[in-house]
């Protein structure tokens, strides 16, 4: 009789957990995956995938407006929110089915129920069944965080509910200044909503390059989105179907929907972590792990947003794969969390990889900046008042490109390719030696010859 029921028990059927389960099963491990909601996790069910579908849909209105400059005469058009939501639901259901099928094809077993740790090797299912496992992987992701409770918090929706609204709000207030808040601001504005963004900091996109932050704000405001910084939502009152949002500044805003997108917290509650002696990282509230994704308990690992390291789906997938390779493939793999490209599907779109100018100047004595801000070719005919930002951050001593920051159409697509060069430690001379692809916006990345700024850090006296 085997010592354990399974070799690996995965708690969470999202991107990281599914990848780990499939790879471990391919190595011959007996694997069970528990998912209490829907297979696919945050990204597929209520995150990046439905969000990107909404973003694509919201672009259509702008495309119609721009068409006139290119000779198209388009008659009266209409938009139906319910159709968008229904078609999105069909696509998410298809993807959920694909995730489920792929796990089962690998030989792993899925149980659609909640799982809680009883000790380091025992998991109790909500069905009452108990399962013992040699190894346990926690991949429960994150959940929206509404922050400190304010009066009327019960009237506020998160991004989860935004995907299932019965009607498109005519006016919406969104609190937050990061990925989710700005992406939904662009979505709702694109579909015709009156959007107000409220953020506590001095400017949106905290942690991004300062030039990116300024550029995105300017472009969003050009598109009619109101951005109020330096204050927070203090109270939300409901009057029938309408809401009044009271701000800490003393002003108030009327709307028919209020959304909070002020961050996400690791989904660690009620997992039985204490019973298994799994430690929480006091610095970020996520499960504490080492470079191998191992927790404070030798046979228990954690990957993805539940660790609160780098909350991006491809990172969770990479961590899950590395865990399976290391533990079941006997091929030790550590994930390099440096130089990870990321995108904000705001409008305009942001793509970034590597260091910001501020980070580079703190780490390197000589930093050269190459920056351009220009009107894209499409705007010359459409007449739209919009500009693209491209910026390279370079080590002035070694000539290595430390960071690339793009704001504009297809920024994410361009950044994925540039990320390869940055990861390979390409130099500015390598960029300069690359023939431009004309006419494109991205050719600017290889034609910027003269630094727009040079920074030399003075040695301490």
* Bridge partner list, 122: 119, 132
Q: Which helix (H) or strand (E) holds 351?
A: strand 350-354
The DSSP H or E segment spanning 416 is: helix 411-423
Distance CA(136)–CA(8), nearest Å, equals 6
CA atoms within 13 A on the CB side of 143: 10
Our answer to whether residue 438 is catalytic in this structure is yes
The order of strands in the sheet holding 194-199 is 226-229, 194-199, 171-175, 258-260
Count of all residues that appear for the chain in the document: 461
Beta bridge partners of 123: 117, 131
Cβ neighbours of residue 21 closer than 8 Å, sequence gap 6 or more: 8, 10, 31, 33, 103, 106, 108, 137, 324
Measure the CA dihedral 52/58/59/60, to 10°.
130
Partners of residue 121 on adjacent β-strands:
none
Catalytic residue among 321, 405, 438, 455: 438
Q: How far apart are CA 156 and CA 138, in angstroms?
A: 29
Q: Pseudo-torsion of CA 264, 265, 270, 276, nearest 10°? A: 140
Catalytic site residues?
Answer: 438
């Amino acid at each position: 009789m085997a010592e354990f029921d399974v070799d690996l028990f995965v708690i969470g059927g999202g991107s990281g957990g599914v990848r780990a389960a499939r790879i471990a099963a391919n190595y011959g491990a007996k694997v069970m995956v528990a998912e209490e909601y829907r297979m696919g996790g945050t990204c597929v069910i209520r995150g990046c995938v439905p969000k990107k579908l909404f973003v694509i849909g919201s672009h259509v209105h702008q495309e119609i407006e721009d068409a006139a400059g290119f000779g198209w005469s388009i008659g009266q058009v209409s938009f139906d929110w319910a159709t968008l939501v229904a078609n999105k639901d069909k696509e998410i259901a298809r993807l959920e089915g694909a995730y489920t099928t792929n796990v089962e094809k690998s030989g792993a077993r899925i149980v659609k129920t909640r799982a809680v740790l009883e000790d380091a090797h025992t998991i109790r299912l909500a069905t009452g069944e108990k399962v013992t496992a040699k190894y346990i992987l926690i991949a429960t992701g994150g959940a929206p965080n509404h922050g400190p409770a304010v009066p009327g918090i019960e009237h506020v929706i998160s991004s989860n509910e935004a995907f299932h609204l019965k009607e498109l709000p005519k006016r919406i207030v969104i609190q937050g200044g990061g990925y989710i808040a700005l992406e939904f601001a662009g979505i709702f504005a694109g579909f015709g909503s009156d959007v107000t963004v409220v953020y506590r900091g001095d400017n949106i996109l905290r942690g991004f390059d300062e030039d990116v932050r300024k550029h995105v704000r300017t472009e969003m405001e050009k598109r009619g989105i109101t951005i109020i910084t330096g204050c927070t939502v203090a109270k939300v009152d409901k009057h029938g179907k309408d809401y009044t949002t009271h701000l800490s500044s003393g002003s108030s805003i009327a709307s028919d929907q209020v959304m909070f997108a002020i961050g996400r917290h690791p989904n660690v509650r009620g997992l039985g972590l204490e019973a298994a002696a799994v430690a929480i990282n006091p610095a970020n509230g996520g499960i504490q792990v080492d470079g191998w994704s191992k927790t404070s308990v030798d046979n228990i690992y954690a990957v993805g947003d539940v660790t609160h390291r780098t909350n991006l789906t491809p990172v969770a997938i990479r961590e899950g794969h590395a865990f399976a390779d290391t533990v079941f493939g006997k091929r030790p793999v550590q994930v390099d969390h440096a130089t990870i490209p990321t995108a904000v599907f705001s409008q305009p779109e942001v793509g970034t990889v590597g260091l910001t100018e501020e980070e580079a100047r703190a780490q390197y004595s000589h930093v050269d900046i190459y920056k351009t801000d220009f009107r894209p070719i499409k705007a010359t005919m459409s007449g739209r008042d919009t500009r693209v930002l491209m910026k390279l951050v370079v080590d002035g001593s070694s000539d290595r490109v430390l960071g690339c920051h793009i704001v504009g159409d297809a920024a994410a697509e361009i950044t994925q390719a540039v990320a390869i060069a940055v990861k390979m430690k390409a130099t500015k001379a390598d960029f300069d030696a690359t023939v431009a692809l004309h006419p494109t916006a991205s050719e600017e990345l290889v034609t910027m010859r003269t630094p727009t700024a040079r920074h030399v850090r003075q040695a301490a006296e």
